[in-house]
Structure 1
Amino acid sequence: MVPPPCGHGHHFCNGNLPTYSMNIKSLNITKHHLYPIVVLDHILSHRTRHSVGRFLDVSIVILFFATIVSYGLKFIPFIDALYIEQATMIAPKIMGLLLVLISILLFIIILELFFRFSYFEEHETTNEPTFDVLKILYTATDGDLTKSFIQSAAGEKILLRCGIPTTALQTEFLAKRSGILFDAPFPEITDGPFTLSSLVLFLLSVDEEFRTFIVRGGIREPDLVGCAEWVMRQNALAKKQERWWSHERLAAIPGIGKDWAYGAAFTLARYGKEIVERYDTYASTMSLKDTAEVTSLERILARSTGADAIIVGLSEAASMDVVFNFARSIARGIVTPELEGKKIFVLDYNLIVAALHTKDEYETTMITIFEEAINAGNIILVISNLPAFLAHARSLNSDVVTLVEPYLSSGRLQAIATIDMDNFHNVVEQNAVLMSQFEKVVVTEPSEAKMVPILERVAENLESRNPVFFLYSAIDEALRSAENYLPDGVLPDKAVSLLIEVVPQCMQAHKVIVDRSDILTLIKTKTNIPVGEIQTAEREKLLSLEQFLRERVVGQDEAIKVTANALRRARAGVRNMKRPIGSALFLGPTGVGKTETVKALADLFFGDEKAILRFDMSEYQTADSLERLIGFSEGERAGTLTKALKERPYGVLLLDEFEKANKEILDLFLQVLDEGFFSDMRGKRVSARNVIIVATSNAGSEFIWEAREQGLEVSTMKDKILSKIIERGVYRPELLNRFDAVVLFNPLGEKELAQIARIMLQKLQKRLKEKNLELVITDDLVNAVIKHGTDPLFGARPMNRAIQEKVEQAIAEKLIRGEIGEGSQVVILPEELI
């Protein structure tokens, strides 16, 4: 039994293998209604018939003119009699050959008609192999079904889309395999046709050699099945285009003089553009009759009154896609009779803004456009980006809603407006006239099963224009990466943009095959997030993260371990993509390395320690703090966090003094830490899934100091310290549990302070080296810095100030006095640090 497809459209996914009730031998394919054309296609393939037909067409035309010339020479007076005699002799032979070729062509045409009508014949029973599968079964004469699949045209296409060339299959697989025999079990087909994707999964389940070869080649099972479904769709489209007698193909043939029955619209033609079918964009690849939005739009516009619609999408582009698909359905004649022959004109907003500068000019022109659209009799007017259209009218002190209302309410004007979801709530729902005149059509995001075919057609279109070849893995990764790493925009638009952008990247690298790694390289370039295959140098760095961190963070082994493990998990790609990259709460006294750890984290993961979005949560303690963070409900003022994440959606989000934040903000981060997003003041999602969230806090510092003074290891007291923090009501347990890790930072001892002082002096040494000065770092200098820059309450933080006010000051004075100059060694004695 063949189970129905899963969410991806794949049969047998998630380990659901078929039940076997017969073997391949018991399949009597001769009874299949497509068996005759399978035999025909095996003897004389579809491609061969077409090639022979084209050759015969050309030959017949040439022989036809040759026959006319040979018989017509005798009627030309100045032609030599010898030529006329020779032409008369060969004329019957040419005529005979012409008739033979015509007979052969007629035979080929009859065969092709037999093939097409048999192939497209409707049958009630679909529980049987499809044509492509039947061809593979027919050629499996040696008992090796896998070999037959690989050597078939469909199998070759499938494996090429996986990135496996035919030569590799011949030399590395077929030459060494033992083969499956005809007594292998075959699934009983009861739940729909047995397609190429079903066959692929069947072969993977019964042929261990084939499965091993695929896995070793780095091909994922869903990718192989996806390739099969891609080829199935390509074959179905090719066959559909050959079905010239179908209603859709015949209806698409334009009539003669249809436009003569309708009036002209010269002003509208000046300020608008007619939509014609867009074969060059992904929008034209969507299934029209299965698109609920197009069906709803057709139903509304087919009415005699109230035939006006407003399309509400996640974005303006998504709304316009529905309009383009609707125009395509009109062009192909697959709409109700009331809409046949309609033309769709989109008002060119930019042209209107550029040309109309006064209220009178604007209103006169708009009235003329409305009247022309009505008088023409076959025009549907589209107002794209309705908020911008209304805003321009308001800038001229014109009430365009009042202007257009009589036309809409009378039912004489058919109009479509497009708008995104946010503006619909803010603009249209607040206007009673617009709500009463337009019926809403909501555009939902397509399912993954619908988006994959869209991306495949985009890839095919790009292949036809550029010297590239897309593997299925690139399509799959574009969809995944667009969803995971590109928070702005909607699908499939974001994924389409990735496919378009990756082409010049590959061409610049002189690469023809576009695979998963190319999409990931593009993502890395756009986001600075390390993705893709881990190379040797990076692998060594990841395995030695603790060493790198210890060079910057002193005396915090637990923090280093937690940070290193979090980075490795994130880079390995095993994290939950629906949450932030990572999250941690750093607890400890001031000046012990919490912020330095965050900087090291940003540097290691994002390649820049400046990739930090820093918020001082002590500034968000008042009642309006939440609004200041996410945005004010009244007005268009965006919140600081909302703005920061939209401008820089990739990096480390540092929340300093987290315990001081307003309770509402702590509640907000319950959701952010768990789901990776929050809603701004307009209800729009703001993603935090591509940031590492680190909250620092001094909460519990006194308990940490207490443990240290008692000679206890702070890490062993973690549970007790956290319990005391919860008892005091600083943090709720559910908030602490949302963090991937809660890390306690130890107070610094003399040994750690000396290491930190030396590291800070080395930074100064590096800066002076750029000025051709060599600072000599001595133990005495280190001890002097510790003496002047240590405070038990503030840890190592005062050291920077001590170096600046004492060491740098002493160096500056030496330079001014001329005691040192370029190329000098700089030695600072402790007594000079007054």
Structure 2
Amino acid sequence: MKIYSGKQKVGTLNKKIDLVVDFDDFFYYKSKRALITQLQRTIGIFLIITAVIFFVTYFLILIQLYDRILLLALIDGRFPAYELFPSLGTVIGLFGWYLLRDRNRFGERLEERNLLHLKKDIGDGEVKEIEIESFFSDNVSAYLEEGYKNHNEEFIFFLSKVLLAQPEIKEIIASRLPLDLKKLDKDLVIDTADLTFDNNFQECFLELFHAGMDVDAEYIDEYVMFVAFAKKYWKHALVSQYISPDSVNAVIAWIRNNQKIETFHRKWFWISKLKPTGAINRSYTSKATPTIDKYAIDYVQNVIDFGFVFSQGKDEIIQKILELLSKTTKPNVLISGEAGVGKTHLVKNIATLLVAEDVPIELYDMRMVVIDVNRILTQVTDINQLENIFSKMLDESATAGNCILVFENIEYVFEIREENRKEILNRLISYLEESNKPVIATANTALLKKIIKQNKSFSSLFENIDLIEPSKENAIQIVLEHVQLLEELNGVRVEEPAVRRVVDSANKIHSSKVMPDKAIELLEETLNYAKAHGLKFVDESVVDQMVSGKLGVNIGDINQKERKILNNLEDLLHKRIVGQNAAVESVAAALKRARTGLNRKDKPVASFLFFGPTGVGKTEIAKALAEVYFGHENKMVRVDMSEYSQDKSIEKLIGIENEEGEFQGGFLTDAVKNNPFTIVLFDEIEKASPKVLDLFLQILDEGEITDGAGKKVDFTQAIIIMTSNAGGKQIASSLAAGRAYREVVKEAYYNLQNDFRIELLNRFDKIIMFKPLNLTEIHQIIEKFLTKINENLSEQGVLIEWNKDTVDELSKLGFGPVYGARQLYRVVQEKINDEVASLIAEEKVKKGQTIHFKGLQISDIV
């Protein structure tokens, strides 16, 4: 076994900072400190018990000998020695409590082993070398030392077993990760068999350090160790149980966030002992605010009463807002964002920091008073009262001196009728300009433009903070914050992978809404679904079941019904499509790829360009796929590109803002927002404006499009089919002249570049030339039409029969080189369907009879 001593370099950070381990310090000081810590804890427990004994003894003596003690004090002025017991008990108890302190938290307060401070120093260029062992907690150091001393051959396995046995890690697994520990143990025996001390000791140090830096930990404890091992050493074991490293990271981040909230609780507990209750500040310099108390909501009191709110991923924006609110002049902040993006949640985050006084000193002791115009209107009988109430609230805030006013949905002020709005706005602008008291306003992004247009001077009084949608991982953290309350309300437990699936699914089915609101809404629906079905446990499959039922499309694992459809998809399509084998095979293969997870996630499910002569089945294949897979041929979005021949017509597809600043949605974007799991058929794209065609580049390349309001619309769940008659006549004439099919296809592909930009053509998954239909295929199509008529007539107990002449004559009337088979259906309707309908209407045919056609004439009814 290799012996480690002295200071050794084990790696680098950012290619310029040496990462070293002082093994002498680690093995001597660390191990000694662990022993000392254990000894101190033992002594601490003993001292606490001793202190309790002192107090109990004192009170027992006091109860029994009270009269005698009082007599001694009055006569001799003396007190017995046991009168010192309370003082001794207090001193001993406090020292015992100190010995039992959380050393890692204590060390962090003294700015020892704090990775967050280290990150800042690295950013400032002040660090040349890092002794990484100094950032390890005592427990982690003890685990590593034990592994070094006694478990050479099974070093990583030993550490894994020790880690998984820790109470905090067991709690994570029990609450959020669906891990079978027995299976994990068996898998780790195999996966870590070769991970001995000699080839993993230094690497283990590095993995732990990098994991601590990645997850923004303060020091490297069991949680960081869990993240590091899951990523490096347990990857295959976790994958076998469908747990990703991202899920592990998310649960650890959620635990960290809860710990931070607990820290805020502790701070508030001690701060609250020094403050008066109610709205008065601790210096008793603030004034009463009766109108505010009646009509507004105090978010500071709200988070105290109903729970602290704090989310990861918003640190920078929160710090920016706190800096602006701390300004001595015009400390006014306008938070804009889409409805549901989390503006109120962000304000409550700040309220939580105010409660814990984790804010600049200028904001200590401040209330956060929320003024909601709509809420006030529900409490008054006359809108004219609103002006008076509003004015009083501003006056009270100005004189109280300890209020941060919050105007949620400030746009509502601009929707009050004009005679009242003008006075209220003037009063508010005066307050913003003169009071120099902190103000927060929130507004919907779309409506904010309208506000600026109406009153530019008003918006200039604020510093605007644009709140964008959180990233996927931050959205998961926000949803996890809501999980515990929803679990208690519904009596259902939720795993982290289920939360991850909720976020992914919300992006797919609610593209018109924003995160995190749409994910929280979907989570609530899922838990209601689980409760209604008597489930006590929500995993990914439950989310898939709920969403599939909502959409009418299976989005989870392939079930038996869908597997049968996929396995027979080509045959099912050929029930409607005659010939065109290449197109049918390509569509079937694309759908199978998508449902087995082999397609690219950032593009549409599949994208096709079907070109060739008219009337040969290009549009029909889209209808057939919609019927077979989605249940009905109408379950698709059909766009007739002849209606978009002008550049300006792009507005009809993606929407546009009108003169009043209101957004009018586009036909295409609205249709896909409402039904993202669909087929989008762009018919005859050669008739569209080149500018419109350029719009499709983004859909095909990125799986999304930007609508007229600047919002992204997701197309990654859609199948894109574009059709074109380009080159149709030449293709038909070339094949009719006897040229080889392969030669005609090659020439046709080349000629397409004359009709469409190469950038567009290169983005399709498949470009398929449709060939003209031959006579045999025309006859097959007619046979299908006639069979369909019989299916419809069966409800009335009537049938038709036909002969070869019937099919021949219908084909002559309905098929031609110009329109292909497009007229066939109309001809069959006129010559067969209409005749049969007349017979039924005139009661010339009875139930159970058959109508016989010879050619197009009815020969008999029997």
The TM-score normalised by the length of structure 1 is: 0.81
Establish whether residue 390 from structure 1 lines up as the match of residue 414 from structure 2: yes
Following TM superposition, by how much is the alpha carbon of 1:559 offset from its aligned partner in structure 2, in angstroms? 0.7
Q: Given the alignment, which residue of 760, 780, 789 partners 1:735?
A: 760
Determine the structure 2 residue equivalent to 1:697.
724
The answer to whether the 8 A contact 1:383-1:389 is kept is no
* Aligned-CA RMSD value: 4.4
- The 1:114/1:657 distance shift into structure 2, 3 A limit, reads same
Determine the structure 1 residue equivalent to 2:123.
none
Determine the structure 2 residue equivalent to 1:124.
112
Establish whether residue 165 from structure 1 lines up as the match of residue 180 from structure 2: yes
> SS in structure 2 opposite 1:800?
helix
Determine the structure 1 residue equivalent to 2:75.
none
Matches within 5 A, 1:542-561: 542-561=566-585
- The 1:614/1:20 distance shift into structure 2, 3 A limit, reads same
The answer to whether the 8 A contact 1:617-1:656 is kept is yes
Matches within 5 A, 1:510-529: 510-529=534-553
- The 1:228/1:303 distance shift into structure 2, 3 A limit, reads closer
Matches within 5 A, 1:563-642: 563-635=587-659, 636=662, 637-642=664-669
Determine the structure 2 residue equivalent to 1:793.
818
Q: Deviations over 1:230-263 (max 9, x none)?
A: 55666x4597479x4x5x6533556125356433
Q: Distance in 1 between matches of 2:740 and 2:102?
A: 82
The answer to whether the 8 A contact 2:641-2:685 is kept is yes
- The 1:833/1:133 distance shift into structure 2, 3 A limit, reads farther
Determine the structure 2 residue equivalent to 1:88.
none
Determine the structure 2 residue equivalent to 1:81.
none
Determine the structure 1 residue equivalent to 2:457.
433
Determine the structure 2 residue equivalent to 1:343.
367
The answer to whether the 8 A contact 2:779-2:811 is kept is yes
The answer to whether the 8 A contact 1:654-1:694 is kept is yes
The answer to whether the 8 A contact 2:250-2:473 is kept is no
Q: Distance in 1 between matches of 2:55 and 2:795?
A: 83
Following TM superposition, by how much is the alpha carbon of 1:595 offset from its aligned partner in structure 2, in angstroms? 1.6
Amino acid at match of 1:115: R
Determine the structure 1 residue equivalent to 2:140.
133
- More displaced stretch, 195-204 vs 103-112: 103-112
5+ long unaligned stretches in structure 1 = 6-15, 75-95
- The 1:765/1:197 distance shift into structure 2, 3 A limit, reads farther
- The 1:21/1:293 distance shift into structure 2, 3 A limit, reads closer
The answer to whether the 8 A contact 1:282-1:457 is kept is no
Amino acid at match of 1:682: A
> SS in structure 1 opposite 2:511?
coil
Q: Distance in 2 between matches of 1:387 and 1:239?
A: 36
Q: Distance in 2 between matches of 1:41 and 1:216?
A: 43
Q: Deviations over 1:518-576 (max 9, x none)?
A: 33334434444543222344334323322222122111111111111221222222333
Determine the structure 1 residue equivalent to 2:317.
293
Determine the structure 1 residue equivalent to 2:397.
373
> SS in structure 2 opposite 1:694?
strand
5+ long unaligned stretches in structure 2 = 1-9, 69-81, 115-131, 214-218
> SS in structure 2 opposite 1:263?
coil
Amino acid at match of 1:162: L
Paired residues in the alignment total 783
Determine the structure 1 residue equivalent to 2:72.
none
Q: Distance in 2 between matches of 1:655 and 1:280?
A: 56
- The 1:156/1:134 distance shift into structure 2, 3 A limit, reads farther
Establish whether residue 683 from structure 1 lines up as the match of residue 710 from structure 2: yes
Determine the structure 2 residue equivalent to 1:156.
170
Following TM superposition, by how much is the alpha carbon of 1:446 offset from its aligned partner in structure 2, in angstroms? 3.6
- The 1:687/1:452 distance shift into structure 2, 3 A limit, reads closer
- The 1:251/1:467 distance shift into structure 2, 3 A limit, reads same
Following TM superposition, by how much is the alpha carbon of 1:618 offset from its aligned partner in structure 2, in angstroms? 0.9
Q: Given the alignment, which residue of 150, 160, 166 partners 1:146?
A: 160
Following TM superposition, by how much is the alpha carbon of 1:665 offset from its aligned partner in structure 2, in angstroms? 0.8
Amino acid at match of 2:440: I
- The 1:603/1:43 distance shift into structure 2, 3 A limit, reads farther
Following TM superposition, by how much is the alpha carbon of 1:389 offset from its aligned partner in structure 2, in angstroms? 2.4
Q: Distance in 1 between matches of 2:394 and 2:345?
A: 24
Q: Distance in 2 between matches of 1:504 and 1:29?
A: 56
Q: Distance in 1 between matches of 2:357 and 2:846?
A: 86
- The 1:229/1:633 distance shift into structure 2, 3 A limit, reads closer
Determine the structure 2 residue equivalent to 1:308.
332
Q: Distance in 2 between matches of 1:658 and 1:387?
A: 42
Q: Deviations over 1:727-761 (max 9, x none)?
A: 3xx21111111222222112111221122222222
Q: Distance in 2 between matches of 1:594 and 1:322?
A: 51
The answer to whether the 8 A contact 1:528-1:650 is kept is no
Q: Deviations over 1:353-409 (max 9, x none)?
A: 446687744433432332233233333322222223211243866464334222221
- The 1:256/1:33 distance shift into structure 2, 3 A limit, reads farther
- More displaced stretch, 416-425 vs 116-125: 116-125
Q: Given the alignment, which residue of 418, 431, 435 partners 2:442?
A: 418
The answer to whether the 8 A contact 1:594-1:696 is kept is yes
Following TM superposition, by how much is the alpha carbon of 1:130 offset from its aligned partner in structure 2, in angstroms? 3.1
Determine the structure 2 residue equivalent to 1:496.
520
- The 1:217/1:299 distance shift into structure 2, 3 A limit, reads closer
Matches within 5 A, 1:794-809: 794-809=819-834
- The 1:668/1:230 distance shift into structure 2, 3 A limit, reads same
> SS in structure 2 opposite 1:437?
coil
Following TM superposition, by how much is the alpha carbon of 1:592 offset from its aligned partner in structure 2, in angstroms? 1.3
> SS in structure 2 opposite 1:534?
coil
Following TM superposition, by how much is the alpha carbon of 1:173 offset from its aligned partner in structure 2, in angstroms? 6.8
Determine the structure 2 residue equivalent to 1:35.
34
> SS in structure 1 opposite 2:762?
helix
Determine the structure 2 residue equivalent to 1:670.
697
Establish whether residue 251 from structure 1 lines up as the match of residue 279 from structure 2: no
Following TM superposition, by how much is the alpha carbon of 1:69 offset from its aligned partner in structure 2, in angstroms? 8.6
Amino acid at match of 1:164: L
Q: Distance in 1 between matches of 2:142 and 2:634?
A: 61
Following TM superposition, by how much is the alpha carbon of 1:301 offset from its aligned partner in structure 2, in angstroms? 2.4
The answer to whether the 8 A contact 2:308-2:352 is kept is no
- More displaced stretch, 565-574 vs 164-173: 164-173
Q: Given the alignment, which residue of 806, 817, 822 partners 2:847?
A: 822
Q: Distance in 2 between matches of 1:139 and 1:413?
A: 58
Amino acid at match of 1:564: A
Seq. identity, %: 26
- The 1:264/1:575 distance shift into structure 2, 3 A limit, reads farther
The answer to whether the 8 A contact 2:48-2:92 is kept is no
Q: Deviations over 1:783-814 (max 9, x none)?
A: 44434432332222222212322222222222
Amino acid at match of 1:251: I
Following TM superposition, by how much is the alpha carbon of 1:709 offset from its aligned partner in structure 2, in angstroms? 0.5
Q: Given the alignment, which residue of 95, 100, 103 partners 1:114?
A: 100
Q: Distance in 2 between matches of 1:778 and 1:746?
A: 28
The answer to whether the 8 A contact 2:330-2:436 is kept is no
Amino acid at match of 1:165: D
- The 1:807/1:132 distance shift into structure 2, 3 A limit, reads farther
Q: Deviations over 1:386-434 (max 9, x none)?
A: 2232112438664643342222211255432211323323432653211
The answer to whether the 8 A contact 1:618-1:658 is kept is yes
The TM-score normalised by the length of structure 2 is: 0.79
The answer to whether the 8 A contact 2:605-2:717 is kept is yes
> SS in structure 1 opposite 2:844?
coil
- The 1:280/1:829 distance shift into structure 2, 3 A limit, reads farther
Determine the structure 2 residue equivalent to 1:185.
200
Determine the structure 2 residue equivalent to 1:401.
425
Matches within 5 A, 1:712-751: 712=739, 714=741, 716-727=743-754, 730-751=755-776
